[in-house]
Structure 1
Amino acid sequence: MMPLFDLRKVLAAAVVAALGGCATADAVDVRAAHDYPTLDRVRYVFTCMRDNPGPPAYEMMAKCSCAIDAIAKEVPHDKFETMATAFDANTIGGERGSYIRDAKAMQAEVRAYRDLQARVKKACFIAPQ
């Protein structure tokens, strides 16, 4: 089994290669990023690929990997989990979902998540939906 740090180097190199070398090494240097569990990175990439169909799978894998690396560089994992959970919970219908929709602090997390997603999608050339 390949050690985690070697896998990250391989993913970083794949992103640079997929973007035609237009990304700087610093833009995808995961060593400088906050430490995200590999499972969360993979889950994000799969969800991103599902939500952004179109280009060949390898191209979207590279773009979505770029996005999670950019997020990890900017936001600690626990903060990302809070924002993503609030964003997902915002869609719960009925009375249970009203707690999230009515809470100003949770709505601030939802807005922060949307802003973060917009920035990384633009930086990683993921077309807006």
Structure 2
Amino acid sequence: MTALTIVLPVGSARAGDYPTPVIVDYVIGCMASNGETQDMLRRCSCSIDAIASIIPYETYEQAETIMRMQQTMGAQATLFRNTKALKVKVDELRLAQVEADFRCF
């Protein structure tokens, strides 16, 4: 019996690259927004797996941080609202989330 080898494109992410607490936090938040059912557990788990297959964890972490900082008040938060380079990171995550929605919901 031969072993199955999965070849990922250069720069692609894998679900195992995301820390477990991040995955759990995403699934809990997703279920809180969409319903706390077994079906939503499956769909929300699928969603974070899809996101993880699209963008590396580092990009996810940066985009999440930027989005959280954009929600805060004060002068420091302004830096996170008006920078094109930061917008690119957030857009990457949002596109991954849209793809995850198509795959899982």
Q: TM-score range by the shorter chain?
A: 0.7 to 0.9
Give the Cα separation in 2 of the matches to 1:90 and 1:115. Answer: 18
SS at match of 1:61: helix
Identical positions, percent: 35
Give how far 1:51 is off: 2.2
In the other structure, the counterpart of 1:49 is 31
Q: Deviations over 1:72-99 (max 9, x none)?
A: 1122111111112112222223322111
Aligned residues: 93
Cα RMSD for the two superposed structures: 2.0
Give how far 1:44 is off: 0.8
Unmatched 5+ stretches in structure 2: 1-12
SS at match of 2:71: coil
- Pairing 1:90–2:81 present: no
Give the Cα separation in 1 of the matches to 2:64 and 2:76. Answer: 18
Higher RCO (CA-CA < 8 Å; seq separation 6+): 2
Question: So what's the TM-score if we normalise by structure 2?
Answer: 0.76
- Pairing 1:115–2:86 present: no
> Which contiguous aligned blocks of 4+ residues in structure 1 show a shift greater than 2 angstroms?
none
- Pairing 1:70–2:63 present: no
